[in-house]
Every structure is written in C-alpha cells, then in structure tokens.
Amino acid sequence: MTIASTLPPSTATAAQQFEIRPVEGPLGAEITGLDLQLPVSGQDLARIRAALVKHGLLVFREQRITPQQHVAFSRRFGPLQVHVLNRFHLQGYPEILIVSNVVQDGQPIGLVDAGADWHSDLSYMPKPSLGSLLHAQELPAEQGDTSFANMFLAYETLPADVKRTLEGRCAVHSYVYRYRRLQKLSPWRADLTQKQIDEVPEVEHPVIRVHPESGRKALFVSEGFTSHIVGLPKDESDALLRYLHEHTIRPENVYRHRWRAHDMVFWDNRSTVHYAPITPQHLRRTLYRTTVEGDVPA
C-alpha cells in the first residue's frame, strides 16, 4: 500500500476551466465554460469576484440552474436581501424576486416595472446591495434588453467644478419615493402597508462613494431612488440630479445587454446603475433575481 492510497480522498473542489472576456463597451465581461450546477471552488470564486469588481458586470452564459442553485451561488458573495414586496417572492424562495410581465388569472406573477427607471438595487437600504444576480427564465424574441451604466466613469468624467460641488455631500435614497412615482404608471401597485413602509425608511448615503474592494470613486445617485441632495434648495438639487443622470446615461457610458436563453447576469450595484423598460405583455419575459447585501457606503 502506498502512502498516497492511505490518505482520505480529497474533498477540495476542483477549479473549472473558464474564460472571462471583456465585452465591447464601458463595462461588462462574459464568462464561458463555467457551470454553476457544479460546485465552484474558492479559487474560482475569487476570480469571479475580482472580475465583478473590475468589469462591473458579468454575463454567465448557458446556466441551467435551479432556484436553489441560484440562491446557493449568490450566497457565496454575502448574505441575501429579501425584497419588501413579498407578493413577488418565488414560492419557497423568499430570497428570489420574480421580475416578470406575465399576468396569470388577472394577477401579475412578478414585478413588471422593476427596471422602469435607472437605479442601483436596494440603494435605499442602510447597507445597499453589493450586487444582483438575474437569471433568465423566459425571454421574448424581441425587446426586453437591460442597460447598465458605469458609475466609476460617470464620476471620473465629471467637470472639476461639479466634483467639487459634490465632494462630502450626501443624498437621500427612498424606496417609498420611487414606489409612489411608479404607482402612477402601474395600476397593480396597491398602496404599501404601514409594515412595508416601516421596513424601508429613507436613508442618506454619500453622493460619491469609494468602492470597498477597489478603492475607486463612483457616483452613487440614481433617477430611481435618490429623492434629493441634502443641504441644497429643492430646485438646485433637482437640477443637479437631472444633470448627473443625463451625464451618467450618455451612450458611451452604457452597455446594453441583449438577453440569451439561460443567461445569468451578475452586476455590481456599487459601481453601476441599470434600466429595463417595461416589456409589452404579449412578449412574455420572466427572470429571477437575488440581491447580495453590501457595505455601508463610505
């Protein structure tokens, strides 16, 4: 008997052979050759995490994973956040939010307007999301794209005087602010209950945040959730937020994702904002989303 054969079989997870290729544009990379149905080693996880920070968004192609595998993979990056709209949780998986335009028996099965304006997911929480993982379930043959803007570049390309104006300032992020605005577009949005309102009190975050993993500065306001900049008169705050929004979504700062079957897209909410217009109801579109909790922005 050799010494090697007396050793217990290795329990270490083998690394997978996969490629990370940047996509054309200001952010994003595509991962091919990785199967999220298989265990992901610590080494592979570190590669994925570094790529997320570097590229802001990762497209994992051909992921035929179950909701359980989706949740398990997401958890490797941190605790998961449970969305306040509990009626759109996937049954048995409160960590999964259904994003969908499908109506069954007269009721929407998911959040149809989750991406109806530019935002960073859960920026209204004291610890906003590190990242979201959105997995395609059913896709339309046309439309249904999701666009992402690079908030590092948005900050870095601001004129020096605007950077000076923003330095040290905070802005208020509010779930209720966005909800009430979207209520005007979406008839299914019943008034929030008091319990739901209490779960998402508005918060203040720095307008310019430092990415906790790269140290790079990013703009951290959005059309969706930022109601105002603290300490500025309302008209000045509105005008500045409008300017920052238009600056952020200049075409050269945006990557538009055309979904393919079984795509899983993982984006960094600390350095991107995203937008997906409502897809008309006859073009069925359903995706499952998890969100990973991040740090208190600094």
3-state secondary structure of 42: helix
117, 121, 263, 268: the catalytic one is 121
Contact 274, 115 (CB under 8 A): yes
Q: Please report whether residue 48 would count as binding ligand SIN according to CB under 6 A.
A: no
Q: 3-state SS of 219-283?
A: ECCCCCCEEEECCCCHHHHHHHHHHHHHHHCCHHHEEEECCCCCCEEEEECCCEEEECCCCCCCC
| Residue 1, CA distances (Å) to 4, 9, 11, 296 in order | 8, 15, 21, 56
Min dist. Cβ of residue 156 to ligand SIN (A): 24
**What number of chain residues touch ligand SIN (CB under 6 A)?**
9
Backbone angles phi, psi at 18, to 5 degrees: -140, 155
Q: Please report whether residue 121 would count as binding ligand SIN according to CB under 6 A.
A: yes
Under DSSP, the state recorded for 119 is: B
Please select the residue that binds ligand SIN; options are 71, 96, 276, 292, rule is CB under 6 A: 276
49, 135, 285, 289: the catalytic one is 289
Q: Which stretch binds ligand SIN (CB under 6 A): 68-76, 114-122, 189-197, 233-241?
A: 114-122
What CA–CA distance (Å, rounded) separates 38 from 60? 14
Residue 146 or 237 with smaller CB distance to ligand SIN? 146
Q: Which stretch binds ligand SIN (CB under 6 A): 17-25, 113-121, 182-190, 248-256?
A: 113-121
Contact letters (x/-) for ligand SIN, 227-266, by CB under 6 A?
----------------------------------------
Q: Shortest CA distance to 258 belongs to which of 150, 141, 151?
A: 141
Q: Please report whether residue 90 would count as binding ligand SIN according to CB under 6 A.
A: no
Please select the residue that binds ligand SIN; options are 101, 120, 129, 146, rule is CB under 6 A: 146
Active site (annotated) includes residue 274: yes
- Strand ranges, E, within 26-121: 29-32, 57-60, 80-81, 89-90, 93-100, 103-104, 107-108
Active site (annotated) includes residue 289: yes
**Separation of CA 213 from chain center:** 17
Please select the residue that binds ligand SIN; options are 225, 289, 290, 294, rule is CB under 6 A: 289
Please select the residue that binds ligand SIN; options are 114, 218, 219, 292, rule is CB under 6 A: 114
The residues assigned a catalytic role are 119, 121, 274, 289
